[in-house]
Amino acid sequence: MRERLHDYLAARPAGATAEELLDLVFVGRGRDPDFGDRFLAALLGADPRFRFEPVEQRWRVRSCDGLVRPLAEVEFVVVDLETTGGASGQDAIIEIGAARVVGGRLTERFASLVRPGRPIQPFVSRLTGITDAMVAGAPRLAEVLPRFVEFAGTAVLVAHNAAFDVGHLRAAGAPLDAPVLCTIRLARRLLPESRRRSLDAVAVTLGIACFRRHRALPDAEIAAEILCVFLERLQERGIERLDQLLDFQRSAADGRPFIVHVPRARLDEVPAVPGVYHLLGRDGRLLYVGKARRLRERLAAYFTNARGHSPRVLDLIRHVHDFRVTETGSELAASLLEARRIRELKPPYNRQLRGLPRVGFLKLGVRSEFPRLWATERVGADRATYLGPFASLAAAERALAVLGRVFKLRTCPGRLYPAPEATPCLSGQVGACTAPCAARVDEAAYRAQVDACLAFFAGGDERPLDWLGARRDVLAAELRFEAAAQVQRDIELLESLRRRQQGLNWVVTRQNFAVLLPAETRESAVLYVVLGGRLAVEARLAATADLVSAAALVRERFARYQDAPLTRADVDGTAIMAAWLRDRGAQDGVILPLDGPDAIVDRLDELAVTVRDLGMAGVGPLPPIDALGERP
């Protein structure tokens, strides 16, 4: 534990507070406010490598004392390399350029072409203008490198993407022990609003001219000017010492160092397939469960110092020492497995229900004489008409505003008791609703409005779009362009809704269907069956017997699941299935409607063919239908 804290402080020259160090040791907080100070004093106080700074209330390692220097007294050497375009090594560098910065100003320069030991790749010559002929008479790196090392001396090395330039220099054998600054890292912290951080992009943001780009010395001079601007901005933030600056460039969005304990080589072993990942602590304890469409990309995103990491995620990353993954074969399977493991294992960094997709629907009721249209987060086992799913309840409410206005349906809650003396709400007063509450429309006429809405989504009525199109054209002719643009957005929304409804109507309305997806291997597939709007059957199919057993289970559960209300345990699967339906691509699985308890039996041959198409060898000829027992 002491070595762990030493490594942490060695990477943070300005030191760390007791709170930071305790967060590295303990996942949870104790109730004794003085325990942390006593614990660290006992652990580190007698070790000569550590010291406590009472004024700043920070622990430091003594090996970093030499970095406690005012920035005004620090020399920086900004370096840029051009290379052949291949792997790093002694024969890759073709040009070195550097500029010294002292007191916020550029002073001396260093520049030299280098004769490499390999040909320059064509794209490098096009980019830099440096050809094999230009470097044929240049000195070898063995002559140039000592001159650059002498020029750099003990100055702090700076580069735009320092990992590249300093990495090439060290691979070539340069003895570089000075601290290293990266202007890209500084740009992440000082220019958080900028998404692009290339040398050109940062220079343009700061108003720095870019001439003779992609040659070593001009690029080094541009990076040096960027450094000078950054030093001024850092001073405004109260960063006045080198140790503070080194800490700042390594820090994450919460101001603390971005520490990764997982070796990069472990990430290279992760496949780029759907699955679930477990993030583990130092002692192997489970900290977090998540899912991903591509496991490798998702895990790599965790261990990259990105501005989008929340304080909670950054705290999680600092505690992660290892991970394990489970391939699932599909994103839907990953989402369902993630929810199940969170519910069963209760990892400390998973919030309750966090990560569940948020979906929304529009519901047109049928029980009232004057059906209303409203937004809801779940479908029910009733005869209502549902539109969706939408990305969120808010998205459903935006569509509600348009549909209510176009078809003049009521969106107000509660039962109606029509009376001529009633005062309608604002929608009724402005004509966005026919106001059945004030008896301004009878039941038959209002039912015609409902039928018009249903006919539009069935694809048999273009009049609403024609009316909106004419309205848009009138507004545009009157030069009311903002209003015309809003009407155009309404048209696009209705067209999108109708396409979605025609594609998913049988799924959302009936709420009884089967989904067949490939598993993580070609030896099996996964069958999901939704009955009455909830996930009722999940079965792995590796042989014909599995398919027959799953069909029997569907028949047995079909009637029981139709009218039963959703339970708390059903919520996860229902939300995940709805989101999958919303986002699925044309090639993402096969969906089959189930009109009754025997539909799965009637489609066994179709399912068997689909399973065989997925590559399963274990599905042979199906047994007679009688093998499933008598039909009810």
Amino acid identity, residue 600? I
| Dist CA 538 CA 244 (whole Å) | 55
Q: Which among 622, 624, 597, 595 has a CA at the least distance from the CA of 541?
A: 622
Cis preceding-peptide flag for 464 (omega within 30 of 0): no
Identify which of 255, 81, 230 has the alpha carbon closest to the alpha carbon of residue 162. Answer: 81
3-class SS at 530?
strand
C-alpha to C-alpha distance for 88 and 332, rounded to whole angstroms = 42
Would you say 208 and 225 are in contact if contact means Cβ atoms under 8 Å apart?
A: yes
Q: Which amino acid is at 355?
A: G
CA distance 351 to 340: 14
Residue 593: DSSP 8-state:
E
**To 10 degrees, the CA torsion angle through 251, 252, 254, 256?**
-40
Q: What is the 3-state secondary structure (H, E, C) of 307-322?
A: CCCCHHHHHHHHHCCE
CB 570 within 8 A of CB 530: no
Among 579, 626, 50, 81, which residue's Cα sits nearest to residue 291?
579
Token couple for 522 = 């070609």
Pairing of strands 105-113, 93-102: antiparallel
- For CA atoms 232, 238, 244, 247, give the dihedral sign: negative
- Sign of the CA dihedral running 413, 419, 422, 425: positive
What would the two tokens of residue 10 be?
A: 């060695």
Instruction: Count CB atoms within 10 A of the CB of residue 322.
Output: 14
Handedness of CA 392, 394, 400, 401 (dihedral sign): negative
**Are the CB atoms for 347 and 289 separated by under 8 Å?**
yes
Query: How many angstroms separate the CA atoms of 68 and 89, rounded?
Result: 34
The closest alpha carbon to 9, from 17, 39, 27, 66, belongs to: 17
214 has catalytic annotation = yes
Token code pair at residue 469: 């199109």
Q: Which two tokens stand for residue 393?
A: 């309840």
Distance of CA 119 to the CA centre of its chain: 41
Catalytic residue among 6, 214, 261, 321: 214
According to the 3-state scheme, what is the secondary structure of 408-466?
Answer: CCCCCCCCCCCCCCCCCCHHHHCCCCCCHHHCCCCHHHHHHHHHHHHHHHCCCCCHHHH
- Whether residue 598 contacts residue 555, with contact meaning beta carbons closer than 8 Å, is answered with yes
Question: Distance from first CA to last CA of the chain, Å, rounded?
Answer: 67
547 close to 554: Cβ distance less than 8 angstroms: no
Burial level of 387, CB count in 10 A (0-12/13-18/19+)?
Answer: buried
User: Which residues contact residue 28 at a Cβ distance below 8 angstroms, ignoring those fewer than 6 apart?
Assistant: 348
Residues with catalytic roles = 214
